[in-house]
Amino acid sequence: MSATLLHTLYAGLAPWLALSLLLIGRNPYLSRTRVIGSLLLAFFLLRIPVGGWSSFAWCRTLEMNPSFTLTGLLCIALWQRLSGKAIFRREDWRVAWIFGAIAALTLYPMGLGLTSLDPYTWGWGPAVAIFTAICSTALLIRSNRFGVILILALGGSLLHLQESGNFWDALMDPFYGATSLVGCGYLLLKRARSSIGSCNHLDFQRH
């Protein structure tokens, strides 16, 4: 298999997974027909020509190198949806969003012109990969399953499944970064509401 074909097949995996999740929806009663139909429909929708290009080709203009982190999380989400079993616990998802938000805030401010420091250059060397390996080990020691996703990023990079050779692209992409920031915002809002509710309850007891 040529490297170009391998890169194209991998790049198509994340859009297919995301579209499959969207088509399957949140209905708790999934028939085999609906599941297979949704998976096939997602594949064929990505093949529809639009303006001379397939839908998948248009997706690649938005992101040439979907991260292994995003692809792994989409696989987990789809498998959980199909099996009805919680592979990732609440704390695993929480760490995934926190990690992605921190990485996004580290990587993307340079692209927005907010700083002269360019962290993307770190991805050409071993520093980011070593840091990711340390984080993965620490998470696995604490039995957090997001550590497995970080191992996938390391493995995918070593196997050169992406077109890019920069490790940041194996770890991060704008979609994962944006989703993580939204997820962290939700977690902070939920915690703030919980704190306000606790304070109100204490005030009520005092009165």
Q: What is the pLDDT of residue 167?
A: 95
Token couple for 26: 């949140």
pLDDT higher for 204 or 108?
108
**CA nearest 104: which of 54, 75, 151, 70?**
70
Range of the domain at 96: 3-206
- pLDDT the model gives residue 197: 60
Q: What pLDDT score was predicted for residue 18?
A: 94
**CA–CA gap between residue 93 and residue 99 (Å, rounded):** 10
pLDDT digits (tens, 9 = 90+) for 30-41: 888 889 999 999
Question: Of 33-37, 138-142, 169-173, where does mean pLDDT reach its minimum?
Answer: 33-37
Q: Which of 84, 102, 90 is nearest to 172 (CA)?
A: 102
pLDDT digit string (tens) for 144-167? 999 999 999 999 999 999 989 999
Q: Which helix (H) or strand (E) holds 50?
A: strand 49-50
CA within 13 Å, CB half, 23: 20
Q: How far apart are CA 207 and CA 205, in angstroms?
A: 5
Percent of the chain with pLDDT over 90: 59
Structural domains counted in the chain: 1
From the list 182, 161, 183, the residue with the least C-alpha distance to 67 is 161
